[in-house]
Amino acid sequence: MYKKKYLILCVLLIILLYFLLQYFFIPKSIYMTTGESYVMKMDTFFDCEISSSQVLNINNKAVKDNIKIDLKNENTISSKEDGNAKINLKMLGVTIKQIELKFMPEKRVKAVGQTVGICVNTDGVLVLGVGSVKGEENKYIYPSKDIIFSGDSIIEANGIKINKKEDLMAAIQSGYANLTVVREGEKLNVSLKPIKSKEDGTYKLGIWVRDSTQGIGTITYYDSKDQSFGALGHPIKDVDTGKVMEIKNGEVLENEVCDIEKGKAGEPGALIGKTDFDKVIGSVEKNGENGIFGKLNYDIGGVELPIGYKNDLKIGEAYIYCNNTGKKIEKYKIKIESINKFTTSQNKSFVVSIDDKRLIDLTGGIVQGMSGSPIIQNGKLVGAITHVFTNDPTKGYGIFIENMIDVS
């Protein structure tokens, strides 16, 4: 009896889990280029009804208002007008979820592939770890323990704005510390008592902090209309805490690739760059899950292409632009291995493999510094390289370009 009830409960839980996965993994919006045809198919048990005030072409028929389609089958959809339609997913006649179908005018940017030096300043100072201070009585005291944590950003101390490590040191020499910290995106006010160090007589909090970081990466695109750029395809994370860095600002600098650490299984390689800190070519304004963004001081060059949405991306041949020698940008063949159009990950949208022997011989595959290398398929900029597979450097992840570029 109990066994039967347990079995029924397990079946119901599996059904509920399947329903929730269907619900959460279906996107809130789908982008399409006006005038182009797209094949839409979803493995879902929901009924589907498309509502639109404009004329759509669905399966070679001009339709308007409401039309029911079976998402389990391939449906060809297009529109000659910019605008929005709604896909209503229903169960037992009730709308469960609504998808915005957006027909967008063609957007063109320059696919770049140039490596650059990147130097960013944190918003406040980033806490790397918490330790002890040797006080005047030769006792080791932990003034910040259970109050300040690794990954916190200290943005203010005793009413003074904190921009660098020296600001924090100066602000707490009064012997008390009322701090404003940012933790997991939330501002908090905390108070603690600094300890006077026996070693040098200054007040200390017993924390290690960082106020900037540097590296190299690849610019994915440049938009000459507003001088904006996107790069990396993933966030800059602190090497010690592993958390996304909250940045105040940053600089894009000229860089020349002077050497390569070749990648191999279990040992990711890297581009070695010589960055010229006197040649600032742009500014970094944002560090997010889908890359870093800002403005360039001048047109950095590249190939002007229309962007392709996730529905444009196909399994098969594509190529990348990347800069692996000096400042020379080369074109290399890759293959799109698999695509997850409904992933919740911002920067691991599809899997690529390097198909070009020249690049494999040069770098071993994908290496650090190549993040942001633009991916081109069928004459469109469709994404960028973001990560390498540690166990196989010839493979890695890519990000949909629509996740990097504001297409709304």
Active site positions, annotated: 234, 356, 371
Nearest to 247 by CA among 275, 285, 219: 285
Q: Are 298 and 112 in contact (CB under 8 A)?
A: no
Q: Are 350 and 397 in contact (CB under 8 A)?
A: yes
H helices of 65-213, where?
165-171
The rounded distance, in Å, linking the Cα atoms of 218 and 116 is: 6
Pick from 337, 342, 344, 349: which is nearest to 382 by CA? 349
405 SS3 class: coil
> For 18, what's the count of Cα atoms within 13 Å in the CB-facing half-sphere?
10
Residues listed for the chain: 408
> What are the two backbone dihedrals, phi and then psi, of residue 15, each rounded to the nearest 5 degrees?
-60, -45
Task: Check if the beta carbon of residue 346 is closer than 8 Å to that of residue 405.
Answer: no
Mark out the alpha helices in 70-178 (DSSP H runs). 165-171
DSSP SS3 for 82: coil
CB atoms within 10 A of CB 116: 25
229 close to 221: Cβ distance less than 8 angstroms: yes
Q: Which two tokens stand for residue 109?
A: 């940017």
Nearest-angstrom CA–CA distance, 138 and 257: 50
User: How far are the Cα atoms of 68, 260, 289, 333 from residue 101, in angstroms, in the given order?
Assistant: 15, 44, 24, 32
143 alpha carbon, distance to own chain's centre: 36
Burial, 282: exposed, middle or buried (Cβ in 10 Å; 0-12, 13-18, 19+)?
Answer: buried
User: How many other C-beta atoms are found inside a 10 Å radius of the C-beta of residue 320?
Assistant: 26
